[in-house]
Chains A and B, each alone.
Chain A
Amino acid sequence: MDQENKINELVEKKALWYEKTFKKTVSRFPERKKEFKTSYGKVVDPVYTPADVKDIDYAKDIGFPGEYPYTRGVQPTMYRGRFWTMRQYAGFASAEESNKRYRYLLEQGQTGLSVAFDLPTQIGYDSDDEMSEGEVGKVGVAIDSLKDMEILFDSIPLDKVSVSMTINSTSAILLSMLMAVGEKQGVRHDQLRGTIQNDILKEYIARGTYVFPPDPSMRVIVDIFEYGSKNLPKFNLISISGYHIREAGANAVQEVAFTIADGIAYVEAAIKAGLDPNVFGTNLSFFFNAHNNFIEEISKFRAARKIWAKVMKERFHVTNEEALKLKFHTQTAGSTLTAQQPMNNIIRVTMQALSAVLGGTQSLHTNSFDEALGLPTQESATIALRTQQIIAYESGVTDTVDPFAGSYLIEHLTKDIEEKAMEYIKKIDDMGGMVRAVETGYVQKEILNSAYEAQLRIEKKEDVIVGMNEFTTEKGSKPTPILKVDTSVEEKQKSKIKELKEIRDNNLVSEKLSSLKLAAASKENIMPFIYEAVKAYATLGEITNVLREVFGEFRESVIL
């Protein structure tokens, strides 16, 4: 075949180039390193040619944007139609404070909200619980009841602004609260747009805000899928997250593999409960990390999209095209930010964000430069948003869909990441699926090994981090101002709860909580019962405690 002859000729020519031209130079001017590697240890060649992509069938493996296997993007026009949603994760202290920050961000041109909750809210403790001491309002906003949620979204029209909520174990409760606030604004449930993270598997793996053991947790997620795909058609009912897996130390392949394996576990659980992946499949979304290795990251996003489409089509026989599309949010990698010379982080974030845009993200959070020091100030949060706007409006990369496609290296890496990730997925299948692989600690151990290796590379300066292990300045630069969270928020939340318990109909609350308990113990969908309890102003802690009694609590086995 002509094509094959051409490739063979090229392989010979490259070998010749390597012997004659390349080696001659290297003998006089050695390369900086013996080997150049990606995050997952693949040794990268000095140059890539058409011979490195010869096994790739353009029509089958790459295709066109908006068409299977979606390697080039899930929409045909991508950013020529509309930019990604600029969605900055924010929230701190009280609902009042966070509401102010949200309204500021929206005024500055942010196009969607992303709510950060404090740890007690994420783990199902009220602010007056002993377990919450010291944590109230710290890493996000404290929400104890529907009352707080009403304040959080005051003057924010929920039919226009989409709301993403980083909430997992208590997602059913916060989703119900959002629905109830919407109702008060006159917004129908089917008009609500947004996302709940609702991804419990990565909480066991990497993030730690689990409450219940895996089996009941999976049941709650399936309940949400069933309820949500009927009542909230525009809502992403899960955001299957590789972000935290990567932050915990995973490499790019592990990030993709473990995330897709989590996705497979959710789809399997839902199918087992009788749901149709053609229906709930359209309400699934993903969340990835944008890390330092620019080319590798672009390839990673493309690979992830292709794998998911193939998994849905070939493994789950999905025919609805909308359910094949991997839609994802991206956040730049928090763990790459340095406390030293913090302004350098603006540059890191810019490149990471650019890789996410070139990888075809649907929404994006850019980190603030001061996040290795504390919570972002209004000024640093504004720079982070401006970074996205500059990429969108000034860089020109948004004018063509998937502009890096066809790069020999990018196509080669896209395929390589796909293959390596599929090897992991096969291994996890052989272990009996992701729930089991997490229970045995396999996934956690793999990530920890990568994290430790990455740290050793930094210690040995094999990986240079500018301003941290090289190009350091002895004297600290001028101190960066840090956002101070008002410590009185804990006391304020406590008195709000006290007041609430005096004015609400406590009989109604007990009644709703008892019904919820019965539903949880049966096979009924718990969503309508949680919704009722929320509307009666039962607190987050009260609702979670009812579920704790029925489901029990999870304790991790320590892996080192």
Chain B
Amino acid sequence: MEKRIRVVVGKPGLDGHDRGSKVVARALRDAGMEVIYTGIRQTPEEIVNTVLQEDADILGLSILSGAHMKLCQKIIKLMKEKEINVPIFLGGIIPADDIPELKKMGVNEVFGPGTSFEDIIKRVKEIVLGTAV
């Protein structure tokens, strides 16, 4: 049987716009994944701990406040320190100019506004199952 993908969906920082994160979390759940949603206003430490405790296969982050560079940097640094090797996807209002740097930092995928559930589900599976390009 195919292993169920475990996803932690986290909202780091002070941003409370959680429509996107909740709706995506539901869509991943309805696609058969196990989804752990952290709720809003989580510190990077809290998110990394959740990833560790839940033994997640992938971490999804949603940031709309513009704080994505700093927050991703902190989360990735903490994950490295704890030797957690889990891919990351990011959603929110992310300017195109920031994407190359985010990818270099270690973010595997960035989903902008208007991305379909279908694309997100497909990409998450690709990344976790190692068929990512």
With most chain B CB atoms within 10 A of its CB, the pick from A206, A209, A452 is A452
Contact partners of B93 in chain A: CB under 8 A:
372-374
Check if B70 sits within 8 Å of A133, measured CB to CB.
yes
Residues of B within 8 A of A122 (CB): 14
A452 touching B39, Cβ below 8 Å: no
- Chain A, Cβ-Cβ closest to B71: A134
Name the A residues within 8 Å of B70 (CB-CB): 133-134
- Say whether A119 contacts B65, CB under 8 Å: yes
Complex partner residue of A560 from B16, B17, B22, B67, CB under 8 angstroms: B22
Q: Are B40 and A560 in contact (CB under 8 A)?
A: no
Tell me whether B116 and A208 are in contact (CB under 8 A).
no
Interface of chain B residues 50 through 88 with chain A (CB within 8 A): 65-67, 69-71, 74
- A139 vs B63: C-alpha distance in the bound complex, in angstroms? 12
Interface status of B18 (Cβ within 8 A of chain A): yes
Given contacts A556-B39, A558-B38, contact A374 B16 (CB under 8 A): no
Bound-state Cα–Cα, A469 to B97, Å: 24
Separation of A459 and B120 alpha carbons in the complex (Å)? 12
The stretch of A297-305, A333-341, A380-388 in contact with B is: A333-341
Q: A135-B65, A207-B16, A208-B15 are in contact. Are A558 and B37 (CB under 8 A)?
A: yes
Is A134 touching B67 in the complex (CB atoms < 8 A)? Answer: yes
Residue of A nearest to B67 (CB): A134
- The interface bits of chain B over 8-27 (1 if a CB of A lies within 8 angstroms of the residue's CB, else 0) are 00000111111100110111
CB distance from A278 to the nearest CB of B (A): 35
Q: Is the CB of A560 within 8 A of B18?
A: no
Q: Which residue of B lies closest to A131 (CB)?
A: B14
**Cα-based distance from A132 to B13 in the complex (angstroms):** 8
Task: Contact check, B19 vs A249: say whether CB atoms are below 8 A apart.
Answer: yes
Q: A145–B97 Cα gap in the complex (Å)?
A: 33
Q: Is A156 an interface residue (CB 8 A)?
A: no
A373 near B19: Cβ-Cβ < 8 Å: no
Of residues B74, B96, B114, which shows the largest number of chain A Cβ atoms within 10 Å of its Cβ? B114
Asked if A119 and B113 make an inter-chain contact with CB atoms under 8 angstroms apart, the answer reads no
A468 B114 Cβ-Cβ under 8 A: yes
A339-B41 in contact (CB<8A)? no
Most A CB atoms within 10 A — which of B27, B37, B43, B93?
Answer: B93
Asked if B32 is at the interface of the complex by the 8 Å CB criterion, the answer is no
Bound CA–CA A459/B116 (angstroms)? 6
B31 to chain A, nearest CB (A): 12
CB atoms of A482 and B65 under 8 A apart: no
Output the least CB separation between B53 and chain A (Å): 15
Q: A134-B13, A134-B71, A208-B16 are in contact. Are A560 and B35 (CB under 8 A)?
A: yes
Question: A residues within 8 A CB of B112?
Answer: 339
State whether A208 and B65 are in contact (beta carbons under 8 Å apart), knowing that A452-B26, A558-B39, A560-B37 are contacts in the complex.
Answer: no
Which residue of chain A has the shortest Cβ distance to B64 in the bound complex?
A139
- Asked if A335 meets B19 with Cβ closer than 8 Å, knowing A119-B14, A138-B67, the reply is yes
Q: Contact partner of A249 among B23, B38, B113, CB < 8 A? A: B23
Q: Is A360 an interface residue (CB 8 A)?
A: no
C-alpha spacing A451/B23, complex, angstroms:
7
Q: Which residue of chain B lies nearest to A334 when distances are taken between CB atoms in the complex?
A: B17
Size category of the binding interface on chain B: 35 or more
In the complex, how many angstroms separate the beta carbon of B116 from the nearest chain A beta carbon? 6
Complexed CA–CA distance, A122 and B17 (Å): 14
A479 proximity list for chain B (CB < 8 A): 96
Q: Is A247 close to B, CB under 8 A? A: yes
In the complex the two chains form, is A452's CB within 8 Å of B23's CB?
Answer: yes
Asked if A161 is at the interface (CB within 8 A of a chain B CB), the reply is: no
- Chain B: CB-nearest residue to A560: B37
The interface residues of chain A lying within 8 Å CB-to-CB of B41 are 208
Complex Cα spacing A287 to B6, Å: 40
Contact A560 B14 (CB under 8 A): no
Which B residues touch A556, using CB under 8 A? 39-40
Q: Are B113 and A339 in contact (CB under 8 A)?
A: yes
A25, CB-defined interface residue at 8 Å: no
Q: A248-B19, A482-B95, A558-B38 are in contact. Are A339 and B114 (CB under 8 A)?
A: yes
Chain B residues with CB below 8 A from A468, complex form = 114
How far apart are the CA atoms of A300 and B98 in the complex, in Å?
Answer: 40
Q: Does B22 lie within 8 Å of A485, measured CB to CB?
A: no
Chain B residues closer than 8 Å to A208, beta-carbon distance: 15-18, 40-41
The answer to whether A247 and B19 touch across the interface, beta carbons within 8 angstroms, is yes
Q: Does A419 contact B (CB under 8 A)?
A: no
Which of A249, A479, A558 has the most chain B CB atoms closer than 10 A to its own CB? A558
In the assembly, what is the distance between CA of A469 and CA of B117, in Å? 12
Q: Which residues of A contact B27 (CB under 8 A)?
A: 452, 455
Q: How many angstroms between the C-alpha atoms of A451 and B17 in the bound complex?
A: 13
Which of A203, A465, A560 is within 8 Å of B25, CB to CB?
A560
Task: Name the distance in Å between B9's Cβ and chain A's nearest Cβ.
Answer: 9
Residue of A120, A209, A465 touching B16 (CB-CB under 8 A): A209
Is A123 interfacial (CB 8 A cutoff)?
yes
Q: Which of B's residues lie within 8 Å of A, judged by CB? A: 13-19, 22-23, 25-27, 29, 35, 37-41, 43, 65-67, 69-71, 74, 93, 95-97, 112-114, 116-118
10 closest A-B pairs by CB = A208-B16, A134-B70, A134-B67, A119-B14, A138-B66, A558-B39, A339-B113, A468-B114, A135-B67, A372-B113
Q: Could you pull out 29 A-B pairs where Cβ atoms are within 8 angstroms? A: A119-B14, A120-B14, A122-B14, A131-B43, A132-B14, A133-B67, A134-B70, A135-B14, A135-B66, A135-B67, A138-B65, A138-B67, A139-B66, A208-B15, A208-B41, A248-B19, A339-B113, A374-B95, A451-B22, A452-B23, A452-B26, A452-B27, A455-B27, A465-B114, A482-B97, A556-B39, A558-B37, A560-B26, A560-B37
Add 8 more A-B contacts to A120-B14, A135-B65, A208-B40 (CB < 8 A).
A125-B14, A134-B69, A135-B14, A339-B114, A374-B66, A455-B23, A459-B116, A557-B39
